[in-house]
Structure 1
Amino acid sequence: MAKRTTSHVFLRIFLPIGPLIAFLAACQPDSETEEALARPVRTVTVERRAATVPVVLTGRLQAQDEASLAFRVAGRMIERHVNVGDRVEQGQIVARLEPQNELNALRAAEANLAAAEGQLVEARADFQRQQTLAERGFAARAVYDRARQAMQTAQSAVDSGHAMVKNAQDQVSFTELRADAEGVVIAVGAEPGEVVQIGQRIIQLAREGGRDAVFDVPAQVIRTAPNDPQILVALTDDPTVTAFGRVREVAPQADPVTRTFEVRIGLSEPPPEMRLGASVTGRMETDTGEIIELPASALTQHDRQPAVWVVDPEALTVAMRAIEVVRFEPGTIVTGEGVDPGEIVVTAGVQALHPGQKVRLLEPPP
């Protein structure tokens, strides 16, 4: 009997607590309920920024000044003293032709000169005699004129003989090919024993001096390139070896096959590792104006079209907005139309949203 009395007392005390809890819960503010129901999202504020697009091309290293050395006379080459990679000094003999014909021509010219000089001595002596007689009145005027004419003819023959000897000496010297400047041999065009023609390349010489990075550049890149751009050039097999350069020369005409223009970049203080003929890459930033860039995570789809969720900053609700995607980049997208600077775009949680949904803006990640 005592147990039943205790139970009844317990029920009388605690039974009114249930309705009281329900009443207190009903009195909670609606704002807190809405806050609890709002979906947390991360966002970004749309901004415009100046955009540059990197252009990377592959090229090769060349000397700023190259020359093809060739003989000025034809003949059989008997010696070539250098090979590819050899360094030569200015005036050094790099090849020789068989000089027998030129030496014979020199001897003949010297003999003709000696004969012309003997005739000049005789003609000058005869003229002096006729001049003395004419002054004393014992010589006819016609004889005197003939002696003077003979002396002038002999003098002209001597002058011609000197010119012939000089020409023959030059022909003999042309059988020796000398380097016109200090440099490195980068190519050879003939071997000893071959009969070479006038102007045929014997060696290709890269003269000492600067280095050029040579690239085949499309016309579109040339049109969009900034004025006097600075180019970063790096070795293809070792990108840590770099040098800066600027455009030194642009070919006036495109290659008929590739339709590209040859552009030479003069390098400033290239390191020794940048050897002639090495493969290099050149990097340049081209200006494309202002763009709007958004994280790729903000992109969703509506009616099979790209779209993003835009947040109303006052009501804190979201609405879907179709956008134009200009291009995709690693981790980001570049938009053309659809959003304006200053608008708030959802970047995380886009798949769980619906139009008009309340959202709670989270702090951006550090």
Structure 2
Amino acid sequence: MTSSSLKLLSTGAILATSLLISACSPEQESTQIQETVVRPVKLVTVSSNIAHNIRSFPAELKASKEANLAFRVGGQLNQLVVTSGQVVKKGQLLASLDPTDFKLDLELAKADYRFAKSNFDRTKSTYEKKVSSRASYEASRASLDQAENALQRAKNKLSYTRLYAPFDGVIADVETENFQYINATQSLIHFQDNKSIDVEFHIPESLIANIQASAVNYKPNVIINVLNNKVYKAHYKEYSTTPDDETKTYEITMGIERDADDSARLLPGMTADVVIDLGLLINQTQNILLPVEAIFETTTAGNSPEQKVWVYDASNQRAVMRKVEVGSLQGDRIVIISGLKEGEQVIAAGVHSLTSDTKVRPWVRERGL
């Protein structure tokens, strides 16, 4: 073989080797790079703190006892002896109807009763002498019973023409004028107990679901805004089990505790603030706080949204999705009620771009950053 042929053969082998290397190396390098990409993530370690979770809820004062008073019969109002704001005692006369027609009905019922009684006495005497039949005796007895019932109804209707205060209180509002015709059960006077005052406010569903049974003994502070922020204690009375249609919150009613010599004028409709330590209310003296950015929501068809976090699994460098129950916001952090344990590490940033297949590692602050 000539020298020129050897040179050509050597050059061809070099070119072929170069082509093979250029064809294979990029794909292999790309695969190696993809396999070694591990995303750095910011982690926070779960730890509990003493729960100082003070919340203030806007509230409104309500009368403990109140009623819309009305007559049980209709007629013309001939006496209205109270005005709005007037304090009255239990049993005090408030209003009355013209009793003329009711007195006439009573006299007629008395006459019917006397006749039925006389007829029964006569029939009873003849029946005992075996002159009249048992059927006539039973008929006269029934007529007497009917007359007696009619007499009692007439007496009741006459008594219904006078309206009395059912308890000590104040006339909140008078809804009619004297001498007007009043229908039966028509609201006439709005009446309130002015001594015993309640406070009503609303709390979200996330709190009411965690209120402990022992919370009925908890007494929060009630601050009355218009009385120079005067503070009272309040005790639990009741709560609604049906949420508000718009806010999805539940109404709580508490009774304000007042000293016997308290002269402050508390009126229904006044505004107040109910200050509650939620840690005591839900029996949570320790709580877990996470940055708000660590929480994200997932929703599946037909189900309510669920709050989730990514928990760092150091053994395989993966992010594990975990459902949590959240509480109230405290600045830029949120209370975690359940779902996490002390010592676990949670990814605190970029949570929306992660998947369970993403390999992650703790982000370490580098020099100069």
TM tier, shorter chain?
0.5 to 0.7
Counterpart position of 2:346:
none
TM-score with structure 2 setting the length: 0.58
DSSP 3-state at the match of 1:237: helix
Q: What is the Cα deviation at residue 241 of structure 1?
A: 1.5
Counterpart position of 1:282:
274
Counterpart position of 2:171:
185
Letter in 2 for 1:286: L
After superposition, the Cα gap between the structure-2 partners of 1:242 and 1:183, relative to the gap in structure 1 and judged at 3 Å, is same
Q: Which runs of 5+ in 1 are unaligned?
A: 1-46, 132-143, 294-325, 342-353, 357-366
Are residues 1:156 and 2:142 paired?
yes
Counterpart position of 1:207:
193
Please tell me whether the aligned partners of residues 94 and 178 of structure 1 are also in contact (alpha carbons under 8 angstroms): yes
Counterpart position of 2:112:
112
DSSP 3-state at the match of 1:272: coil
Aligned length: 249
Q: What is the Cα deviation at residue 170 of structure 1?
A: 0.2
Query: After the TM superposition, which residues 40-119 of structure 1 pair with which residues of structure 2 at under 5 Å, given as runs?
Result: 49-119=49-119
Please tell me whether the aligned partners of residues 54 and 283 of structure 1 are also in contact (alpha carbons under 8 angstroms): yes
After superposition, the Cα gap between the structure-2 partners of 1:328 and 1:113, relative to the gap in structure 1 and judged at 3 Å, is closer
Please tell me whether the aligned partners of residues 67 and 207 of structure 1 are also in contact (alpha carbons under 8 angstroms): no
Q: What is the Cα deviation at residue 186 of structure 1?
A: 2.1
Q: Which runs of 5+ in 2 are unaligned?
A: 1-46, 291-327, 336-341, 344-365
Counterpart position of 2:316:
none
After superposition, the Cα gap between the structure-2 partners of 1:80 and 1:254, relative to the gap in structure 1 and judged at 3 Å, is farther
Counterpart position of 1:174:
160
1:111-150 Cα distance to aligned partner (Å, 9 max, x none): 111222232343345445x44xxxxxxxxxxxx343x543
Q: 1:253 aligns with which of 242, 263, 268?
A: 242
The CA distance in 2 between the partners of 1:263 and 1:157, in whole Å, is 55
After superposition, the Cα gap between the structure-2 partners of 1:121 and 1:292, relative to the gap in structure 1 and judged at 3 Å, is closer
After superposition, the Cα gap between the structure-2 partners of 1:273 and 1:200, relative to the gap in structure 1 and judged at 3 Å, is same
State the identity %.
Answer: 20
Q: 2:255 aligns with which of 266, 284, 295?
A: 266
Please tell me whether the aligned partners of residues 291 and 334 of structure 1 are also in contact (alpha carbons under 8 angstroms): no
Are residues 1:242 and 2:242 paired?
no
Q: What is the Cα deviation at residue 209 of structure 1?
A: 5.6
1:72-110 Cα distance to aligned partner (Å, 9 max, x none): 112232222222222222222211122233222212111
1:327-357 Cα distance to aligned partner (Å, 9 max, x none): 775xxx7699xxx99xxxxxxxxxxxx959x
Please tell me whether the aligned partners of residues 65 and 193 of structure 2 are also in contact (alpha carbons under 8 angstroms): yes
Q: What is the Cα deviation at residue 216 of structure 1?
A: 3.0
After superposition, the Cα gap between the structure-2 partners of 1:96 and 1:256, relative to the gap in structure 1 and judged at 3 Å, is farther
Counterpart position of 1:222:
208
Q: What is the Cα deviation at residue 169 of structure 1?
A: 0.4
DSSP 3-state at the match of 1:52: coil
Counterpart position of 2:360:
none
The CA distance in 1 between the partners of 2:275 and 2:162, in whole Å, is 45
Please tell me whether the aligned partners of residues 214 and 262 of structure 1 are also in contact (alpha carbons under 8 angstroms): yes
The CA distance in 2 between the partners of 1:113 and 1:165, in whole Å, is 7
Please tell me whether the aligned partners of residues 194 and 267 of structure 2 are also in contact (alpha carbons under 8 angstroms): no
Q: Which has the larger radius of gyration?
A: 1
DSSP 3-state at the match of 1:72: coil
After superposition, the Cα gap between the structure-2 partners of 1:252 and 1:189, relative to the gap in structure 1 and judged at 3 Å, is farther
